[in-house]
Structure 1
Amino acid sequence: MRKLLLLILLAAGFLSVRAQDVSLTKGWKLAIGDSAQWASPTYNDQHWQAVNVAQSWEQEGHPGYDGFGWYRIHVVIPSSLKQNAFLKDSLRINLGSVDDNDEVYLNGKLIGRFGGKTGDIKTGSFYGPRTYTIAANNPAILWDKENVLAVRIFDTGGDGGIYGTNFSIGMADVMDHVTVNTEADFNYGERNSLSKSIKLITTNHYDYKGKLAFKVTDPETKAVLYEKTNDAAFSVGRPFTYSFEIARLEKKSYTIVYTFTDEKSGKEITHTETTPYLLTPYPSAKPKINGADVFGARPDHPFLYLIPATGQKPLTYKAQGLPDGLKLDAATGIITGAVAQKGSYPVTLTVSNRLGSKTKSFTIIIGDKIGLTPALGWNSWNAWGLSVDDKKVRISAKAMVDRLSAHGWAYINIDDGWEAEQRQADGKIIANSKFPDMKALTDYVHGLGLRMGIYSSPGPRTCGGFLGSWQHEDQDAQTYGDWGIDYLKYDWCSYSEVTPANPDLPALKKPYQVMRSSLDKINRDIMYSLCQYGWGKVWEWGAEVGGNSWRTTGDIQDTWRSLSSIGFNQDKAAPFSQPGHFNDPDMLVVGKVGWGPSLHNTRLTYDEQYTHISLWSLLSSPLLIGCDMGHLDRFTLNLLTNDEVLAIDQDALGKGASQYLKKEDYQIWVKELKDGGKAIGLFNLSDKYQTISLDKNDPALKGYTKFRDVWQQKYVITTGKDFSAKVAPHGVMLIRVEK
């Protein structure tokens, strides 16, 4: 389930656990259900379930449970916290992330509530980090005695409970509202130099004066490349700006640590980021045709395909062997029309400019299957959440056609938040005021040669509380067809309200079968994306109910913990990937994300982003960009335009990679390709550089003589009996082997 992720300053989860804080990571107990007496400090909770709050309650033995649950913990709050603090007026309670809405009681007294509407925590979906601050003289606090902290949770769907890493009690700190803002883009200069400006900002009414230490370290050698300390002063509305340049960097990532120390309080705040490095070569000015080798459509349905090609413009397009009913615009490369006769049609595409021409064999298959390769596109949710609107979608479409479509990116998908409050009198769904004319918006996207996607739920309401398709499936499918929609993401959400508790397999399939039947009644190819978080081993039956893709997991976040726990646990689903039907481990979290309307640079390091795209491509996953398309920085653009990496994802064989070798600190994943070659990812899961090797006589490599570094698009010369690669922390070496 996609939750409404609110990144609130106090609850942002960026607050570090200080050494003197009291840890709340152990000792929690859980009860499923709801009772007012569970807030009482005298209630006997000895029979409750002991749980690990690093995990959701689904992972703690309650799969598929939505509704109320309570957590309780007994903890002594020492008065030394207050005595040793610089600020002594407020106590801060960090509760990791809450999924979805909560009320918090300390010794029976309500001290905080978040989520819900009009005081009802059963309404809305407000997943996100939580921190509550109360006065140090609040009588609810029992200093130096045992306290009972009770948290009442309501989960609307998907994962539920409280979970994460930041569980602690401490005093509010002078640095709580200070931020080292590193959101500015890096600038790329000559001789592999990088420059940037960062800011120290605060919302505290306190005048900060102290030292800012700046240090650049090579994580491979541990050598300090650059170190400097500057005087720094800032206050509300008056940030401190620090600019720097680092010269002569190698093609790898370095670590930058910023530490500000306030001279009056002695308190400090530290922020760490890594430096970007570009691997994808700049595309040649000569013409080149990219994208998948095959494209499927149904008979007599509208056909739309933009030939993806790079090269100096203007480009001229030709297509020899197009089936009857299709036509090509030679200036734009857009193929449109409809084909009546089923069949496999070999086509020769040619793209020319003043520097030459290039041809490619391409197959159009008219039949019962669409989505023969995973979708490449953009989805609005991870950037804009419910704040998506017509303007943001148009900006995204224009950015895609200008900067990404030449590499095969084709879908512009609107997620939740487009629906009006009520249906029309005849039951027809309409868009809200943010989307004044959905048909006109779709026509605009189609005019660029791109395809348009939309979102709904089989329940009465979507995850964001908007109208779902419950009991209006035929009407909604027809409306999507009338608008010209090409992709539907169908999210379980509130369907739990209209299906039996703990649904069995037929109940899990039912809503998706109903909408599949409705989509089959309209004269349009609509890619069908099932979103129900991997319940019931959906990969085993997603194709059976007509899904073109299906979510295999809960929501991804822009952290290594989330990325790695999702990506490296796809081995059970991988064998079910096939042309027209693909596993979906959720959308991409690269670039500027934030779940709307405020955005931030992804918290993934640059090495982790290379891992993200490499692993998702090996898995034959839909690649749906989740960032602000109007602000594609140079690194993100370089990351998303490597045609050899994308070719692995778009390989016509459609197989997902297998987890070939799993060790404690590294893994190797292998994917078979249609041309007889293999794509292999060597992933470093550790926090330090390591060399990963594979014997050339190993079955994965035996018989293959050519080893190509896919990111750098160059062959690697290897000697000896092993193929070895030095891989960065949380990084990857992605190779393609050929005979």
Structure 2
Amino acid sequence: MRRLPIRSSGIARRRAVGAVAVAVLCTGGVVAVPASATASGTTPRPAPATAPAEPSPTLDDGLALTPPMGFNNWNSTHCSADFDETMVKGIADLFVDKGLKDAGYRYVNLDDCWALSARDANGKLVPDPARFPNGIKAVADYVHSKGLKLGIYTSAGTKTCSDVGFPGALGHEYSDAQQFADWGVDYLKYDNCNNQGVDAKQRYTTMRDALRATGRPIVYSICEWGQNKPWEWASGLGQLWRTTGDISDSWGSMVSLMKQNLPLAQYAGPGHWNDPDMLEVGNGGMTDTEYRTHFSMWSVMASPLLIGTDLRTASDTTYDILSNRDVIAVDQDPLGKQGTVVSSDGGRWVVSKEMKDGSRAVALFNETGSAQRIATTAKAVGLPSAPAYVARDLWRHTNAHTAGTLAATVPAHGTVLLRVAADAKWAAYPPAAELGLDEGVFIEPGASAKVSGTFANLGRTPARDVTVSLSGPAGKNWKVKADGPTKAPVVQGGRSLRTRWTVSAPAGSATGSYDLTLRATYRSPQGTKITSAAPVTAAVATAPPSGTSALGDLPWLSAANGYGPVERNTSNGESAAGDGNPLTVGDVVYAKGLGVHAASSVDFYAARTCEQVTAQVGVDDEKDTKGTVTFEVWADDRKVASTGVLTNSDAPQALSADVTGAQVVRLVATDGGDGVDSDHADWGDAQLTC
């Protein structure tokens, strides 16, 4: 799937996916919980009714024995004038100068728009002389001089996926492959646009044969968008295949693609990789926390790591994320296992990846919009029984030991990534500790709230000189008072220190979220001082009025949306705020409600005073042929209503949910299990009764 900043018509018609318009397809710290805690939850979707197909035979060419790492310009430049020879050479220079080459990145890949719009008189492809005045071979020679490799792009159709529609390779496979080889190309991304209905296996097999005929080793990236389940047949053709549509630079898009790719672990391995599309890290549509999750989960899934941001303008934080060698080592582990889901209850994900040295990479991923404690055990993630384990936090680069429980208070949309091993030398490391509040903090302006928290020692050795503190947001005149002990000379392994606090927000505080700081310090038996912090967010909110209120008019605590912002009393529309249309499902128009795009979650403060949510829900008519959405209502951590999958052809469905006693009411729209393409979802006439 190809993403473009504007719409077009024709075979490569654009449609809303994630946070941009696209062409039809392609281009916290280690913490502990009490030893009795165990992981629970569900896998991301039900098991299939029939056994999955066995993977096809794999190539024996020695290419891409670990997932390819490199750069592709599409996500940052599309076909803009910024994409040219100077940019490509500059990226190669930065790979070397910024340490990315040393971290494992090798491929500098050109995407669409590198060629002229017509072949020459001999049927050959012609590089655009304005973009590449010295030709592609000169660029390849420069990239090779840096010890790097060059990649190129074309489509398994008559034209590529851009609006212009540059020459595709259908019917020209052998000629084009030989040109690529003569230029010194090392990697081919082969797209799927304008394919004229020719069988996918046939088209991609022909290019496989053409590449082989050149005699040059060229990594073959099959960008078929997952339409024909390439994981079941493509491992005998290429080294990687797209399992999804295009990614866009949004939280909803990234999570949707992750969920589609996770169930396909059995098909991945050395020389044959599932590809949920390129990285968006650094492009600005997500927070740094979300980008760390993106990089963590792609690595746990053994996905190709192709940088999609313009490294010439990337921030230091972006470079820090992309060059984290602890995380890269998870992706590049030579065993080649893709991580599998251990649990996913309530948006609290545990994903475990087996490593060649016997350790496990464990991702504790928080899909929700508030901080969550996520817990599992060494046994649950596949480790053998042992007296204790050493867990390395791959973002904090710290080690601690645990008797077997792995847990963290994970920030909203965050991921704690651990590498855990049974280690006979565990006692040399400090004990891991859990630090967190028991529940969320909700305060009305000028009022106070009682909160309690826990410092728990997970290890087998004592934590000494333990001190816990809680402070309000800087410069906001909040008051925090301890209501009991906050220090302990020693907390033995498996024991905890409970703390209680009164938190007061000043009168006149604006509604919204505020960051508090919960911190603990302690010493290991060897005297090493450890400082840990847990994410704590306080919500200043007022209770909803008595009676029945339109949710489209009430303030929300938080909102996450798969494409553009959540809209009040209009449809989702496009990516800009306020560009929606009247909420319309099956020709029925609703004056009030919420317009969202899967994956979406909107939280409302109910103050334990509300009883019922009602709505008329469905896929908005502005998407006239596509869209599959499931609507859910959650009362705190309980799912209390769900529609099942609805499509554009379904009439509005009445949804009613009992939310009695809930502190937070959450409206969720999921992608129905098939990606977020066109998933414009309406909460028509959504009401909350209190």
TM range (shorter): 0.5 to 0.7
1:7-18 matches, within 5 Å, as none
Please give the alpha-carbon distance, in whole angstroms, between the structure 2 residues aligned to 1:466 and 1:524. 25
Please give the alpha-carbon distance, in whole angstroms, between the structure 2 residues aligned to 1:686 and 1:423. 50
- Going from structure 1 to structure 2, the CA distance change for 1:626 and 1:609 (only over 3 Å counts) comes to same
Identity %: 39
Q: Does 1:485 align with 2:209?
A: no
Aligned to 1:515: 207
Aligned partner of 2:282 among 577, 585, 591: 591
Please give the secondary structure, in 1, of the residue aligned with 2:314. coil
Aligned to 1:555: 246
Please give the alpha-carbon distance, in whole angstroms, between the structure 2 residues aligned to 1:124 and 1:539. 24
Aligned to 1:717: 401
Please give the secondary structure, in 2, of the residue aligned with 1:409. coil
1:164-243 matches, within 5 Å, as none
Counterpart contact for 1:125–1:463, Cα < 8 Å: no
Deviations 1:195-226 (A, max 9, x none): xxxxxxxxxxxxxxxxxxxxxxxxx9xxxxxx
Q: Does 1:428 align with 2:428?
A: no
Deviations 1:290-322 (A, max 9, x none): xxxxxxxxxxxxxxxxxxxxxxxxxxxxxxxxx
Aligned partner of 1:399 among 94, 102, 106: 94
- Going from structure 1 to structure 2, the CA distance change for 1:155 and 1:397 (only over 3 Å counts) comes to closer
Please give the alpha-carbon distance, in whole angstroms, between the structure 2 residues aligned to 1:606 and 1:551. 25
Q: Does 1:461 align with 2:148?
A: no
Counterpart contact for 2:302–2:339, Cα < 8 Å: yes
Aligned to 1:375: 68
Q: CA deviation at 1:571?
A: 2.7
Please give the alpha-carbon distance, in whole angstroms, between the structure 2 residues aligned to 1:554 and 1:422. 27
Q: Does 1:410 align with 2:110?
A: no
Aligned partner of 2:335 among 653, 656, 662: 653
Q: Does 1:679 align with 2:361?
A: yes
Please give the secondary structure, in 2, of the residue aligned with 1:476. helix
Paired amino acid for 1:729:
A
Q: Does 1:525 align with 2:217?
A: yes
Aligned to 1:390: 85
Deviations 1:401-444 (A, max 9, x none): 21111111111000000111221211111111211211111100
Aligned to 2:143: 445
Aligned to 1:191: none
Please give the alpha-carbon distance, in whole angstroms, between the structure 2 residues aligned to 1:584 and 1:605. 23
Deviations 1:264-303 (A, max 9, x none): xxxxxxxxxxxxxxxxxxxxxxxxxxxxxxxxxxxxxxxx
Q: CA deviation at 1:488?
A: 0.2
Paired amino acid for 2:5:
L
Please give the secondary structure, in 1, of the residue aligned with 2:214. coil
Please give the alpha-carbon distance, in whole angstroms, between the structure 1 residues aligned to 2:173 and 2:321. 38
Please give the alpha-carbon distance, in whole angstroms, between the structure 2 residues aligned to 1:699 and 1:686. 22
Please give the alpha-carbon distance, in whole angstroms, between the structure 1 residues aligned to 2:344 and 2:205. 37
- Going from structure 1 to structure 2, the CA distance change for 1:534 and 1:130 (only over 3 Å counts) comes to closer
Please give the alpha-carbon distance, in whole angstroms, between the structure 1 residues aligned to 2:317 and 2:116. 37
Please give the alpha-carbon distance, in whole angstroms, between the structure 2 residues aligned to 1:456 and 1:557. 20
Counterpart contact for 2:158–2:167, Cα < 8 Å: yes
Please give the secondary structure, in 1, of the residue aligned with 2:151. strand
Aligned to 1:232: none
Q: CA deviation at 1:696?
A: 4.1
- Going from structure 1 to structure 2, the CA distance change for 1:685 and 1:534 (only over 3 Å counts) comes to same
- Going from structure 1 to structure 2, the CA distance change for 1:474 and 1:130 (only over 3 Å counts) comes to closer
Please give the alpha-carbon distance, in whole angstroms, between the structure 1 residues aligned to 2:201 and 2:362. 34
The TM-score with structure 2 as length reference comes to 0.53
Please give the secondary structure, in 1, of the residue aligned with 2:406. strand
1:154-165 matches, within 5 Å, as 157-158=24-25
- Going from structure 1 to structure 2, the CA distance change for 1:395 and 1:127 (only over 3 Å counts) comes to farther
Q: CA deviation at 1:723?
A: 2.0
Q: What's the C-alpha RMSD, in Å, of the aligned pairs?
A: 2.5
1:32-431 matches, within 5 Å, as 101=7, 115=8, 121-122=9-10, 125-127=13-15, 157-158=24-25, 368-387=61-80, 388-403=83-98, 404-431=100-127
Aligned to 2:517: none
Aligned partner of 1:624 among 306, 313, 316: 306
Aligned to 2:261: 570
- Going from structure 1 to structure 2, the CA distance change for 1:672 and 1:426 (only over 3 Å counts) comes to same
Please give the alpha-carbon distance, in whole angstroms, between the structure 1 residues aligned to 2:241 and 2:18. 30
Q: CA deviation at 1:538?
A: 1.2
Counterpart contact for 2:18–2:252, Cα < 8 Å: no
Alignment: residue pair count: 383
Q: Does 1:734 align with 2:622?
A: no
Counterpart contact for 1:3–1:125, Cα < 8 Å: no
Deviations 1:161-208 (A, max 9, x none): xxxxxxxxxxxxxxxxxxxxxxxxxxxxxxxxxxxxxxxxxxxxxxxx
Aligned to 2:486: none
The TM-score with structure 1 as length reference comes to 0.50
Q: CA deviation at 1:572?
A: 2.5
Deviations 1:308-355 (A, max 9, x none): xxxxxxxxxxxxxxxxxxxxxxxxxxxxxxxxxxxxxxxxxxxxxxxx
Please give the secondary structure, in 1, of the residue aligned with 2:4. coil
Please give the secondary structure, in 1, of the residue aligned with 2:78. helix
Paired amino acid for 2:394:
V
Unaligned runs of 5+ in 1: 7-100, 102-114, 116-120, 132-153, 160-219, 221-249, 252-365, 500-506, 593-601
Aligned to 2:176: 476
Deviations 1:596-638 (A, max 9, x none): xxxxxx2111111111001000111100000011112110010
- Going from structure 1 to structure 2, the CA distance change for 1:701 and 1:489 (only over 3 Å counts) comes to same
- Going from structure 1 to structure 2, the CA distance change for 1:648 and 1:690 (only over 3 Å counts) comes to same
Counterpart contact for 1:156–1:494, Cα < 8 Å: no
- Going from structure 1 to structure 2, the CA distance change for 1:699 and 1:122 (only over 3 Å counts) comes to closer
Unaligned runs of 5+ in 2: 31-58, 423-690
Paired amino acid for 1:706:
V
Paired amino acid for 1:435:
F
